[in-house]
Structure 1
Amino acid sequence: MKQKTIGIIAEWNPFHRGHEAMVQEVRARFDDAFIMAVMSGPFVQRGEPALFDSWTRARWAAEGGIDAVFALPVLYALQSADHFAAFGVKLLAAMGAEVISFGTESLDEDALWEAASFSFTHTYQKAFHRALKEGFSYARASYEAMKSHSPFLADELSKPNNLLGFRYTETILRNHFPMEIDVVHRDMNHNISASEARKDLLLQSSGSLLPSRSAGEAESLIKSGHFSDFSRFEDACLLHARLLSEKELSETGLFTEGLDHKWFKEMGNPDYETMLSAIKSKRYLYSRLKRLGARLLLSGRG
């Protein structure tokens, strides 16, 4: 029997015990499979630097059962959920993945295929563009469009892992990839989140939510200062913004709908978080602004 090639799109920021459990479950489902992953590198989708460097995170994943880890280029990682998912799926498809495995909070394969199929209908597209014209954010417009088909699916797709699974499935359909999806339901009663793992490491210097083989190393990296300092990153983003004129901001091509004017107006705020809070709106959510700020910092302008 031909060995199955399984693909996973990940950030592993950091690789914790919940990630390890998912890999073990995929191993149990697909005996003797080759499991590869595309992983966000120095920056993650929420618009921040990863807590630890790419090589360390990739090594922890390999020690946790992944056969090969490939980098998701930074400009692909710093995208909204739909583009992040699309780039990841396309990269895996190009490398021969036959199945994409991922975790969800609740939705199964059938529900995701249903939601993704509906997203290509005229009914969905009409409702989606109407919501955009009414000033809703992309995410809210997607919610309103899906609600016209199924309020249940619309509500469930507001959960982050369900949403990513939907975007993966949507990309497969859009590109006619010969790929299957494999859903691993998260144990929501004993759920471990990457944000909790980072919090434990940063505030308690504790790697208790990480696999035992990497917990000690992670604690040592924190204690020795070998991790990303988010406050310094935010200071760098704010300083870089202040070095650019409004014309230079506009010329980056990162801003639309007059957002460059608003960005320039608010960059005199005392800190980066206050600046973004003054800019955000129902159209430009905080997460979107953080990704934009990271891309601006990496643009090399100024």
Structure 2
Amino acid sequence: MNLLGLIVEYNPFHNGHLYHLNESKKITNATHTIAVMSGNFMQRGTPALLDKFTRAEMAVKNGVDLVVELPTLYACQSAEIFAHGGISLLNSLNCVNSICFGSEIGDIDILYLISKILIDEPIDFKIKLKDYLDKGLPFPKARASALFYYITENKLYDTSEEDLLNMLNSPNNILGIEYIKSILKLNSKIKPYTINRINSGYNSLNVNDSICSASAIRNALKNNSLNTINYTMPKDTYDIINRVIESGFNLVYNEDFYQILSSIIIRDKDNLTDYFEVNEGIENKIYNSIFKCHNIETLQNEIKSKRYT
């Protein structure tokens, strides 16, 4: 057997996911597929549109052989922790030969090279990174510039600094680098592959093709437009969503939790730093912002600043 691992959310499973699944099987020559999937909450802390069992059913009906849950402890974290949880789980199964993920660059060589440099931290790279930080550059820009210097100085890859910065600012490239870093840290035998993401970006709300983002599909469903987007998903996905809606289940969105969230923030004013990664003063910004906002979106925009992305 040749087992392919995928780290997914399928919120919900759509044509882009089916393309990724089928292409991943092709380039890895996989005979079977294991998907590590977020449970009822997603990487950015958002609730899943449908419960994890329904989303696992979608995955299996569309060609995944086994779905394993990624614990919430890892699912709702930064790219680094999310990736480490997914890779650790696949690695612990002791049967997975490869992993394939989508990326904007679609080039495993440069992603692997960047990951290796970030893991090994060669002395020339570290010196340049410190120099750029001392000059006042934000960390992402300083790291990109140090990487560019190290890569070009050692003639490791032909790229421009602008292209490298764009690469490091692209969400799926970032996640792919973290997957590879985790593979290297674990000394895992899992071989990484990548394919180009096609069509819409992951957070685009435009539904103008048979392959669009999950965000666009969720937005359409929020507006009760399932019948207008049936061409964006496999028939099995459409049938399952239609079945769930007809059963009287309300699809779940961020806004459904706003009143609970605001009550907890006000109640726990003095204990907000007990929550993971709530530190360095953002707890005060969260608390002060809650009185100016009426929904999740305005709260996120109010908290966001140059310091807090």
TM above 0.5, yes or no, is: yes
Gaps of 5+ in 1: 286-302
Name the counterpart of 1:257.
280
> In the TM superposition, what whole-angstrom CA distance separates every residue of 1:7-45 from its partner, at most 9, and x where no partner exists?
110111111011112212233334452210111111111
Name the counterpart of 1:58.
56
Give the whole-Å Cα distance in 2 for the aligned partners of 1:263 and 1:123.
39
Report if aligned partners of 2:5, 2:98 keep a CA contact under 8 Å in 1: yes
SS at match of 2:244: helix
Q: CA 1:194–1:256 in 2, change beyond 3 Å: closer, same or farther?
A: same
Letter in 1 for 2:178: R
Q: CA 1:129–1:57 in 2, change beyond 3 Å: closer, same or farther?
A: farther
| RMSD (Å) for aligned C-alpha atoms | 2.5
Report if aligned partners of 1:112, 1:165 keep a CA contact under 8 Å in 2: yes
Give the whole-Å Cα distance in 2 for the aligned partners of 1:270 and 1:47.
19
Letter in 2 for 1:281: S
SS at match of 2:238: helix
Give the whole-Å Cα distance in 2 for the aligned partners of 1:283 and 1:131.
18
SS at match of 1:44: coil
Report if aligned partners of 2:101, 2:193 keep a CA contact under 8 Å in 1: yes
Report if aligned partners of 1:53, 1:227 keep a CA contact under 8 Å in 2: no
Name the counterpart of 1:183.
194
How do residues 189-204 of structure 1 correspond to structure 2 at under 5 angstroms?
191-203=211-223, 204=225
Identity of aligned pairs, percent? 30
Q: CA deviation at 1:176?
A: 1.6
Q: CA deviation at 1:170?
A: 1.5
Give the whole-Å Cα distance in 2 for the aligned partners of 1:54 and 1:142.
37
Name the counterpart of 2:167.
156
Gaps of 5+ in 2: 152-158, 201-208
Give the whole-Å Cα distance in 2 for the aligned partners of 1:140 and 1:80.
19
Give the whole-Å Cα distance in 1 for the aligned partners of 2:133 and 2:288.
25
Greater alpha carbon shift after TM alignment, 254-263 vs 48-57: 254-263
Give the whole-Å Cα distance in 2 for the aligned partners of 1:279 and 1:51.
25
Letter in 2 for 1:100: I
Name the counterpart of 2:252.
228
Greater alpha carbon shift after TM alignment, 189-198 vs 237-246: 189-198
The answer to whether 1:109 aligns with 2:130 is: no
> In the TM superposition, what whole-angstrom CA distance separates every residue of 1:107-128 from its partner, at most 9, and x where no partner exists?
3121111111222323444555
Give the whole-Å Cα distance in 2 for the aligned partners of 1:249 and 1:126.
37
1:71 counterpart (60, 65, 69): 69
Q: CA deviation at 1:222?
A: 4.1
SS at match of 2:60: helix
Give the whole-Å Cα distance in 2 for the aligned partners of 1:88 and 1:127.
32
Name the counterpart of 1:266.
289
Give the whole-Å Cα distance in 1 for the aligned partners of 2:300 and 2:131.
27
How do residues 32-51 of structure 1 correspond to structure 2 at under 5 angstroms?
33-51=31-49
Q: CA deviation at 1:105?
A: 2.0
Name the counterpart of 1:299.
none
SS at match of 2:91: helix
Letter in 1 for 2:62: G
TM-score by length of 2: 0.81
Name the counterpart of 2:226.
205
Q: CA 1:131–1:40 in 2, change beyond 3 Å: closer, same or farther?
A: farther
TM-score by length of 1: 0.83
- Number of residue pairs aligned between Structure 1 and Structure 2: 281
Name the counterpart of 2:203.
none
Greater alpha carbon shift after TM alignment, 14-23 vs 232-241: 232-241
Letter in 2 for 1:278: E
Name the counterpart of 1:219.
242
Q: CA 1:153–1:230 in 2, change beyond 3 Å: closer, same or farther?
A: same
2:300 counterpart (265, 276, 280): 276
Greater alpha carbon shift after TM alignment, 237-246 vs 50-59: 237-246
> In the TM superposition, what whole-angstrom CA distance separates every residue of 1:145-186 from its partner, at most 9, and x where no partner exists?
434445223312322222211111111122221121121223
Q: CA 1:216–1:284 in 2, change beyond 3 Å: closer, same or farther?
A: same
Give the whole-Å Cα distance in 1 for the aligned partners of 2:141 and 2:55.
33
The answer to whether 1:146 aligns with 2:144 is: no
